[in-house]
Structure 1
Amino acid sequence: MSTETVGPDVPEPVVPPQPDTTAAVPAQAAEPAAETLPAEAAAEQAATADEQPVPAEELLTAGPEPEPASAEGGPRPARRLSTGRLLLAAALLGPVVGAGVGYAVQASRPATPLPALAAVKLAYPAERVDPKALAAAAPQPLNIDGDLRDLLLKRPDGTQDWDDTGARGSWQDAAEYAESFGDSRATFSRLLDKGFRRSAVIGWKSGETKYRIRLIQYRSDSASAAISWDYSGASGENEVGKIPGNPQSTLVIDTKPDHYADSTEQFYYGEAIARKGDLIMEIEVFAPSKVDRAQLEDIAKRQWERIA
C-alpha cells in the first residue's frame, strides 16, 4: 500500500485508444519512398545512362533484346510480307536474275565465227553486144494498126443486116459501143478507164437469131485488165467452155432466158471471147431458144483464124 499523500480525488483523463498503424501500413510503405524527379531530369538521366559503355562481359552473356511491348502491353508481333509483295519482288527480280545468268552463260562460251559472205561473181560478155541485133532478136509486140473491118468475118449469104453495120462492118466509138449495154453510162466510163482505142463491128440476123462480132482494141498496157470484165453473160446459170484450138478463150452459153434492157422480150444468150495482144475478139448470139453451141464454136474458130 502506498504511503504517498493523496489529494482530493481527481479523475484521470481518458485517453482514446490509438489505432495500430503498424498493421495497416503494407510492407512497402515501411521503406522510404523514392524521391520523385521532374520529367526533364528523368529524360536526361536516361540519356546519360544509354551513353555509358556496356562492359564486354555483359555483351557476351546478354541474350536477345526482348520485343517492344505493344499498346495492349504484350510483345509486338513480327511483321510478315504479304503475298502480293512477294509476287511483286519475284516479278522484278526474276528478269534481272535471268538476264544475269544468261549473260554469264553466253559470256563463258567460245565465240562462233560467222559464215563467209556469198556473192555472185560478176561476169561480162567477151564481146560487146550490138543493140540493134539484140532488139531484133527480142519478141516483137503485136501491132495491129490497119483497118480492123478487114479482119471481120463477112456476113453469110441469105442473112439480113443488123445494127446497120453493112456487109463489111462499121466502126464504133466508145459511146456507140456503150449503147448496146443496159447500163450504158457505166460501160462508157469503164471503156475509157480501160484504155479503149477503137472498135469494128458487124452483125446479121438469120430468122429470129441475131449475131454480132466485135474486134475491140485497147492500149497495150490495159488489154490484160480489159478482158477481165469484158464478159457480159446475161444470166447466172450457164455452160462454160473453150473455143476449139484456143485454150486462152472463154465460151459461155446461158441455160436460162434473159430479157433485153427496158423490155420484157426474152432471149437466150451465148458469147465467145478471146484475146490476141491488145485486140479482143467478142462474138455474141441472141436466140429465141438455147444457143447452138456447135454453131457458136464454128463462128468463133473462123473469126479467130482471121486475126491469129
Structure 2
Amino acid sequence: MSTESADAAEPGTAAAAEPSTPPPTASPTATAPTPANPFAPPSALPETPVTPETPVVPETPVAPDAPDTPDAPGAFGEAEVIEAGAEPVRRKPRFGVGTLFLTAVLAGPLVGAGVGYAIQASRPPTPLPKIAAPKLSYPAERVDPKALAAAGPQPLDIDGDLRKLLIERPAGTEDRTDGDGDGWLSPDDMAENYGDSAREFSSLLSGGFRRAASVAWESGDDLYQVTLAQYVPESTRRAIADAAPSSTHESEVSLIPGNTESYLVIGKQPLHYARSTDTYYYGEALARKGNVVMTVAVYAKNPVDRAQLEDIAKRQWEKLA
C-alpha cells in the first residue's frame, strides 16, 4: 500500500480532480458520479487525465417565489421588512401635482366665499332711502270746458250708422255686397279686393282706418261697388292722398263736376284680375267728406261709361253731404 498522502496526487490527477468549471450542485436525491480509484499505484494511473463519465444532470428544482424587496415592488405594493417585535411603519400617502392642483381649484372658491361672507356679515347694514312720492296738487283757477274739449281728441265729423248714408241698390240688379252681407266691411274684407292683400291690410291698420260700409251690385257684365270708409281725423287727408291715382296714358283722370276735392278715373286699357287671365276695364270716383272717404268703383267687361259713373258718384255725394 502506498504511503503517500491522499492530498499529494499526480498532476494529471489534480487536473482531473479540478475541472475548469465547477460541477453543478447535486440534489440530495441525485446519483453521484463514480470518481477515480485513489488507491491505485502511480504506475497504474494513466498519464492523461481520465475523462469522467458524463454525470447525470439533476433536475433543477423550481425556486420558490422570492419575496418582494424594496427594490422590486410586488403586485400589491412594496413589502416591508419588519423586525421581530417591532411595529410596522405606515408610509405617508403621496399626492401628485394633479391632485394638489384639483384640491386648490375646489378649495379656492370655497375659501374665498367664506372670507367674503365673513367680511360682509361683519359690516353694519346700509339703511334704505325713504320712499319719496310727489304731493298731489290741483290748479287754483277754473278750467275752461271749451279749451279742454279743444285740446282733446276731436269727435267724428260723421257719426252714426254709415250704412244709412249709402245709396240704394238699383232694382233688378243682383246683390254682390262683400263681408257678412250686413253692409259692414272689416279691414280684411277690404284688403281682399286687392292683389297684395297683406300689404293693403297693413296699410289700412297703420293709416288710421276705423270702419267701413259698402253696397255692391251686378248689372249685366258690370260690377259696381260703393264704399264709405271712415278714418281718424288726422289720417283722412293722407288716406285720400294715397288713394289718388296718377294720370297716365292708360287712364283719364279728372274732377267730379261741382267737387274740387275729388277724382274721376276712367281706364283706357283692359287690366287683368289678380291670379287670373280674365280682363276688365276699371273706373273709379273718389271724394272726401270730413273724415269719410267715398269710393265708387266699376269693373266692366267693356270700356266704362263715364256718364253712368258720374251719375252714381253725384247721387252718393249728395246723400253724404
TM range, normalised to the smaller chain?
0.5 to 0.7
RMSD: 2.7
Asked if 1:143 is matched to 2:157, the reply is yes
Specify the alignment match of 1:161 in structure 2: 175
1:277 CA drift (Å): 1.1
Alpha-carbon distance in 2 for matches of 1:197, 1:253? 28
Residue equivalent to 1:249: 262
Higher helix share: 1
The residue aligned with 1:287 is 300
Is the 2:177–2:214 contact (alpha carbons within 8 Å) kept by the matching residues of 1? Answer: no
Q: Cα–Cα, structure 1 residues 132 and 228, in superposed 2: closer, same or farther, change >3 Å?
A: closer
Kindly indicate whether the alpha-carbon contact (under 8 Å) linking 2:183 and 2:214 is maintained by their aligned counterparts in 1: yes
**Cα distance change on mapping 1:232 and 1:171 into 2, 3 Å:** farther
**CA-CA distance at 1:231 after TM superposition:** 4.0
Give the alignment of 1:155-304 within 5 angstroms. Answer: 155-164=169-178, 170-231=183-244, 237-304=250-317
Percent identity (aligned): 53
Distance across 2 between alignment mates of 1:307 and 1:232: 22
Asked whether the equivalents of residues 233 and 269 of structure 1 are also in contact (C-alpha less than 8 Å), the reply is no
* 1:278 Cα deviation after fit: 0.7
Distance 1:148 1:282, change over 3 A: same
- TM-score, reference length from structure 2: 0.50
SS at match of 2:228: strand
Q: Deviations over 1:65-90 (max 9, x none)?
A: xxxxxxxxxxxxxxxxxxxxxxxxxx
Separation in 1 of the partners of 2:168 and 2:196?
29
Q: Give the distance between the partners of 1:277 and 1:217, measured in 2 at CA.
A: 9
Q: Contact conserved, 1:257 with 1:268, CA < 8 A, in 2? A: yes
**Does structure 1 retain, via aligned residues, the 8 Å contact 2:246–2:253?**
no
CA distance, structure 1, for counterparts of residue 192 and residue 179 of structure 2: 15
Work out the CA distance in 2 between the residues paired with 1:185 and 1:234. Answer: 26
For residues 178-230 of structure 1, give each alpha carbon's deviation from its aligned partner in whole angstroms, at most 9, with x where no partner exists: 01111000000100110100110110000000000000000111111111122
Whether contact under 8 Å (1:259, 1:265) holds in the other structure is yes
Specify every segment of 5 or more residues in structure 2 that has no aligned partner in the other structure, as ranges.
1-143
Contact residue 179 and residue 185 of structure 2 kept, 8 A: no
Alpha carbons 1:174, 1:188 under 8 Å: kept: yes
SS at match of 2:260: strand
The whole-number CA distance in structure 2 between the counterparts of 1:210 and 1:131 is 50
Alpha-carbon distance in 1 for matches of 2:203, 2:259: 27
SS, match of residue 246 in structure 1: coil
Give 2:174's aligned amino acid: Q
Instruction: State the alpha-carbon separation in 1 of the partners of residues 241 and 178 from structure 2.
Output: 29
Q: Check conservation: 1:233, 1:271, Cα contact below 8 A.
A: no
Q: When the two structures are aligned, how many residues end up with a matched partner?
A: 175
Aligned partners of 1:144 and 1:163: how far apart in 2?
22
Task: Compute the TM-score of the two structures, normalised by the length of structure 1.
Answer: 0.52
What letter matches 2:157 in structure 1? N
**Separation in 1 of the partners of 2:163 and 2:313?**
16
Report deviation, 1:141.
6.7
Return the alpha-carbon distance in structure 2 between the equivalents of residues 186 and 165 of structure 1: 19
- State the 1:163 CA deviation: 3.6
Residue of structure 2 in register with 1:73 after alignment: none
> Which runs of 5 or more residues in structure 1 are unaligned?
1-129
* Residues 297, 169 of structure 1: alpha-carbon distance in 2 compared, 3 angstrom cutoff: farther
- The whole-number CA distance in structure 1 between the counterparts of 2:292 and 2:184 is 15
Task: Give the C-alpha shift of residue 143 in structure 1.
Answer: 2.2
